[in-house]
Amino acid sequence: MEILQIRRFRRLRSHAGIRDLLQENHLDPKHLVLPVFVHDERESQEIVGLPGHYRLSPPEALNYIRDSLGLGIRAFSVFPVVPQLSKDMQGSEALNREGLIYRTLKLIRGQLPEALLIADVALDPYTTHGHDGVLDVKTRDVDNDATVAILEKMAVYLAAAGAHFVAPSDMMDGRIYAIRSALNANGFHQTGIISYAAKFASCYYAPFRSAIGSATGTANYLDKRTYQINPANIREAIRECKQDEVEGADILMVKPAGHYLDVIHCLRQNTMFPIAAFQVSGEYAAICAAAEKGLLYRSQAAMESLIAIRRAGADFIFTYFAREVAELLRG
């Protein structure tokens, strides 16, 4: 009997054209969301721990976004850097409609209507303690319902200022239903909700917390385990996502991304909703630091990390590599 010829998989890798034809997952600038940090200073400030990223004044942010649109990036997540003197235990500045984030959104929406604007909904930039909500002074834990009452107002104000999506990142129970109800009651039926539905209690947020000035404690560590998900738990994360579907979320977020590809994949098998993933500041910083030491090639590592997130099932990705990768994809 004739022995069958061994199948040669390398035939399908032998030419760049063949490899392009058969590529299963793709990355495009339209799949990327660029984080943008704004402050009320005149001069930009480079962010330690996030090489290539800066705290920008609102006019500088406008120009930065305009330039990024030229690279094919369509979506931008804007984060405010609130002065320490404007912070308090309750995060009151979050409801100041003349505050930095509201002025910035109005400016960008008015000048660049083609830019898709995503606004974070959480109190950590506004509180003196750095938690994502109102801190109960007796228990030293976040008061869930008192926080939700603030967040629903904040979401309405952000929608009025021009946000296309509000993105609750606080992980309070019931906040998606409260925010959806408040948006609808105020006529913002078309404002979407990107829910940070599966946000884990990760150590990889440290550079971001430093960037917005919410870091406290040793090495920027702040214990948020009473409201963020245990990194060991995947079923809990899926339950959170399913609950947010019921409450009115439009898009579900997994954060961080790189160490939680299994969560993204599992969620993809369990929902028809769009999935976002956030390649967080610590993931970006780790790749940058390794590249600076000559341990890996930065652009290849960036591309590989992002295509892995797409392969796991994410429809789009928040990433600090957005501009860099967009330029690489342009050739």
Structure tokens at 310: 């797409």
Helix (H) / strand (E) element for 255: namely strand 251-255
What's at 14, amino acid-wise? Answer: S
CB 73 within 8 A of CB 323: yes
Please give the DSSP secondary-structure letter assigned to residue 142.
B
What's at 294, amino acid-wise? Answer: G
What's at 137, amino acid-wise? Answer: V
Whole-angstrom Cα distance, residue 36 to residue 46?
Answer: 12
Structure tokens at 29: 């600038």
Whole-angstrom Cα distance, residue 231 to residue 171?
Answer: 14
74 DSSP β-pair partners: none
Catalytic pick from 199, 224, 242, 293? 199
Catalytic pick from 106, 224, 255, 293? 255
- Please say if 255 is a catalytic residue: yes
CB 154 within 8 A of CB 95: yes
What SS3 class is residue 149?
A: helix
User: How crowded is the C-beta side of 172, counted as CA atoms within 13 Å?
Assistant: 30
- Please say if 153 is a catalytic residue: no
Just list the catalytic residues. 199, 255
